[in-house]
A and B are shown apart, each in its own frame.
Chain A
Amino acid sequence: MISRLENIKQLYHIEQVVQQRHDLVLITVPKEYTVAVVTHLRDYEGFKHMVLLTAVDWIEQNKFQLTYILNNPEEKVDVAVRTMIDRDQATMTSIHHLWEQAATYQRELREMFGINFPGSPRVDKPFMLEGWDNIPPYRRDFDTKKYSEETYFPRPGRETNDPKEYMKSKMYPDEH
């Protein structure tokens, strides 16, 4: 596993390597090298299976973090390739030419985070949300509670508690 990463380190600029588990390594690469690293891992290092492609919204840094998890079925090891992309103009190179199923992940990211993957098949078609006219719902500046209250006719009379305060009062009543 480590020897395989040494190969990549010589070829590409790798920002960070974290050994998360004995069979999972997280590597962080710049945006422009991501597809090259993923292609290299697939073609030369035996990571033939794409497990998933997902995103995290780091709103404080104004970035999206994309994670490509790849699996080597022969050695039974995973590698997660992570990259940071700009949040305002969220565009990433598509990898549907490497794995066809990546197009579905990219379609989902386009809808839920608003990350565009130009050239990916059917990327602009609605995936789960039909006729959505708000900001993409998985962005952290989208207030799902407020949207639900404005849209879906909430039934009055529901009591809600702040989870933190409620657990405090239940578990440590003396400190209140």
Chain B
Amino acid sequence: MEKRTVISPEGESFEVDPMKDYFCDARPKVYEPVLPIVEKFLNWARSESLWVLGFGTGCGAIETRPLMTPRFDAYRYGIQWRATPRQSSVFIISGYLSVKTLKRVVRTYEQMQNPKFVMALGSCTINGGMYWDSYNTINRLDHYLPVDVYVAGCMPRPEALLAGFDMLKKRIREGKGEGANLYAENFDWYKANQKKIIKDWDMPDYNW
């Protein structure tokens, strides 16, 4: 890709390499826990404010929308939807993932800041579901992203999603919401899997 010229607010012009633009490409680091009692308090705080990224990948996106309405009202559990990956801590993979979407999902996941959790919704994320023999949808999400909670079903009802959030909160409070650390520890394995199926890899290895 060609370098492009950017003019700063001060009027200076400089060249920017698009592969190193606006993000850092250092490898992810494993989060070192602080004192256990402090960590326990932090985990409680994390579990009580789950901010979900508004990114619908498949048909499951339609099941998350009723949760915002007064009927199911996920906000009473401290769950709310955010517009950007920088602001959110939970990534719901809602249903099947095509290879094209997976590329965007990987970038988005890496742009989210710690602590971050992945919730896999529907059978498609577990074993491919009804798209198990499709030429363009992945079968197992846990080969590309670390999954904290699975919600099985095709499609799960919003109640099942609420139960999934409950389970996620429980796991975070127990200190088991370690997906981001798992990703950092097995970074090369995840990257190899991602690059095996995303054949036109035209982005940095890690960007955030």
Contact = CB atoms under 8 A, between A and B. Distances in A.
Interface string A111-155: 000000000000000101111110001000010110111011111
B103 to A, nearest CB: 7
A155 B136 contact: no
Interface of A: 126, 128-133, 137, 142, 144-145, 147-149, 151-155, 158
Contact of B136 (A126, A128, A133, A158): A128
A7 to B, nearest CB: 44
B127 to A, nearest CB: 4
A152 B128 CA distance: 9
B190 to A, nearest CB: 12
A29 to B, nearest CB: 32
B30 interface: no
A131 B199 contact: yes
Interface of B: 98-100, 103, 126-128, 132-140, 143, 193, 196-200
A144 B143 CA distance: 20
A137 B126 contact: no
Given A144-B134, A154-B128, A154-B139, 6 more contacts: A130-B99, A130-B100, A130-B103, A130-B200, A148-B134, A152-B138
22 contacts: A128-B100, A128-B136, A129-B100, A130-B99, A130-B103, A130-B198, A131-B199, A133-B199, A137-B136, A144-B133, A144-B134, A148-B139, A152-B140, A153-B138, A153-B139, A153-B193, A154-B127, A154-B132, A154-B139, A154-B140, A155-B126, A155-B140
Contacts of B143: 153
Contacts of A155: 126-128, 139-140
Contacts of A142: 135
Nearest to B136: A129
A129 B99 contact: yes
Nearest to A134: B135
A173 B107 CA distance: 52
A147 B135 contact: yes
B203 to A, nearest CB: 12
A148 B200 contact: no
Nearest to A133: B199
Contacts of A126: 200
Contacts of B200: 126, 130-131
Nearest to A154: B139
A137 B98 CA distance: 14
A30 B134 CA distance: 34
Contacts of B132: 148, 154, 158
Contacts of B98: 128
A152 B197 contact: yes
Nearest to B137: A152
Contacts of B198: 130-131
B105 to A, nearest CB: 14
A152 B198 CA distance: 11
Contacts of B135: 137, 142, 144, 147-148
Residue of A148, A152, A158 with highest tally of chain B CB at under 10 A:
A152
Contacts of A137: 135-136
Contacts of B103: 130
Given A153-B143, A158-B132, A132 B193 contact: no
A98 to B, nearest CB: 30
